[in-house]
Amino acid sequence: MSQLTIYSEKDCQTIHLSTQAPAKIKTELNKIGVQFKRWHLAKELPEDAGAEAIIQAYQSEIDSLLESGGYQSFDVVSMNPDNPDKAEFRQKFLDEHIHYEDEVRFFVRGQGLFVLHIEDKVFSILCEKDDLISVPAKTKHWFDMGPNPEFTVIRVFDNLEGWVAEFTGDQIADNFPGLEN
């Protein structure tokens, strides 16, 4: 189940809010400019569905996102616990960074933890199957796929280069709970 936990940036023991209620998650994230919603398919995709089948199943939602956000491209990426490079991929996203474009992700399966550092708070969002999150450009954040990652996401970009990050150098991510899976 999706979850939002809001911490003080100074102390991961100080929790301002913790909720699994989708409407509350959406409301709290909207306050900071983050879009959060759920997409539900009329039919269920098989667990081993490939990128083409996933794109076909979600084509109208993808088209709507591209049009409404002015995005230029999208792709489908998966990560599984048996990937020999999983630790390297996990580490790549764990340091606080920004993008000069929105970071838009839809979870087709599995889960991932987006953690946003905004002003004096840290917003930890556990995204799971059917969750769409759009983190605004220049928002300081990090992403944790956990030590045993298992997810498939549709990524949407407004540049043709794909994922491009600028790391802040702040070690704040080391002070907050990660995803345990």
For tokens 């709290």, the residue is 28
Residue 109 pLDDT class (50, 70, 90 cuts): very high
Residue 12 has which token pair?
A: 């991961």
- In a domain? residue 32: yes
- In a domain? residue 168: no
Q: Is the pLDDT of residue 163 over 80?
A: no
Number of domains in the chain: 1
pTM for the full model?
0.94
For tokens 């398919």, the residue is 41
Residue scoring higher pLDDT (158 or 4): 4
| The amino acid at 59 | Q
Which pLDDT tens digit goes with each residue over 31-88? 999 999 998 876 788 888 999 999 999 999 999 999 999 999 999 999 999 999 999 9
Q: Measured between alpha carbons, how far is 27 from 4 in angstroms, rounded to an integer?
A: 11
- Domain with residue 102: its CATH number is 2.60.120.10
Query: Residue 162's pLDDT is what?
Result: 67
